[in-house]
């Protein structure tokens, strides 16, 4: 299966998404854009960077220096994947956060996926950026414990929501589990979480998930 190249401009468009093919937070936005038919409204520009070496274009758009950031012609730049996802969902007519009681479940589920991502990204930075003599194994294990607890909670309490109508909570969790596989493949989040593993296997088959898979290697 081929993947869609994600850092080339798709067409001349007024909104610019600072992006990276390996960022799971960017992936959340791209999955939403594909699911809501808005992908061609955005031009993607590479904004890959790290806390040690931010991309030169990004801090001027997002003072925190992180991607995704969304530059708009008719308003200030938006940043943080949750803000950008809420913006595009609103623009598409509000399909992915819904309303009423389910909205708060969806937001909590999205926060759970993002929490997994935050822990997994810190683990990645620890091994990729921190000099070997300064690494702190217990701290890394503490991050992994967050991921284990979150996966166990998803498996025990969230399966009915995950199997419901597609929403941003599901997209966030799927992008998070995909990132854990991508960067922490040696650790096994599936152990003891059969229902979650089966749900993820099916969700990962969606064309939007296929088209946004991080590159191999």
- Of the pair 144, 197, the CB lying nearest ligand GSH is at 144
Element (H, E) at 202: helix 194-203
Per-position x/- string for 161-180, each x denoting binding to ligand GSH as judged by CB under 6 A, each - no binding: --------------------
- Phi, psi torsion values for 169, nearest 5 degrees: -65, -45
Query: Of these, 8, 14, 40, 50, which contacts ligand GSH (CB under 6 A)?
Result: 50
Residues 12-41 touching ligand GSH, rule: CB under 6 A, are 23, 25
Cα angle 105-15-107, degrees, rounded to a multiple of 5: 5
Q: Which is nearer to ligand GSH, 80 or 105 (CB)?
A: 80
Which residues within the stretch 53-82 sit at the binding site for ligand GSH (CB under 6 A)? 54, 65-68, 80-82
Nearer to ligand GSH, 113 or 193 (CB): 113
159 contacts 195 by C-beta, under 8 angstroms: yes
Residue 16: is it exposed, middle or buried by C-beta count within 10 angstroms (0-12/13-18/19+)?
buried
Distance from first CA to last CA of the chain, Å, rounded?
A: 16
Judged by beta carbon, residue 20 or residue 193, the one nearer ligand GSH is 20
Place of tokens 């909590």: 108
Residues that bind ligand GSH (CB under 6 A): 23, 25, 49-51, 54, 65-68, 80-82, 114, 121
């Amino acid at each position: 299966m081929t993947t869609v190249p994600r850092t080339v401009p798709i067409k001349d468009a007024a909104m610019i998404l600072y992006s990276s093919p390996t960022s799971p937070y960017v992936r959340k936005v791209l999955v939403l854009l594909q699911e809501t038919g808005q992908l061609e409204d955005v031009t993607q520009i590479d904004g890959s960077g790290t806390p040690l070496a931010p991309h030169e274009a990004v801090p001027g758009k997002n003072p925190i220096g992180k991607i995704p950031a969304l530059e708009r012609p008719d308003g200030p730049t938006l940043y943080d994947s949750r803000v950008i996802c809420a913006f595009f969902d609103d623009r598409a007519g509000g399909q992915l956060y819904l309303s009423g009681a389910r909205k708060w479940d969806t937001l909590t589920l999205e926060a759970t996926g993002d929490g997994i991502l935050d822990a997994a990204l810190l683990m990645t930075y620890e091994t990729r950026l921190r000099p070997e003599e300064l690494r702190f194994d217990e701290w890394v294990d503490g991050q992994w414990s967050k991921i284990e607890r979150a996966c166990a909670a998803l498996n025990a309490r969230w399966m009915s929501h995950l199997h419901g109508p597609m929403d941003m909570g599901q997209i966030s969790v799927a992008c998070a589990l995909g990132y854990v596989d991508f960067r922490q493949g040696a650790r096994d989040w599936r152990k003891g979480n059969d229902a979650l593993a089966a749900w993820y296997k099916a969700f990962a088959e969606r064309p939007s998930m296929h088209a946004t898979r991080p590159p191999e290697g």
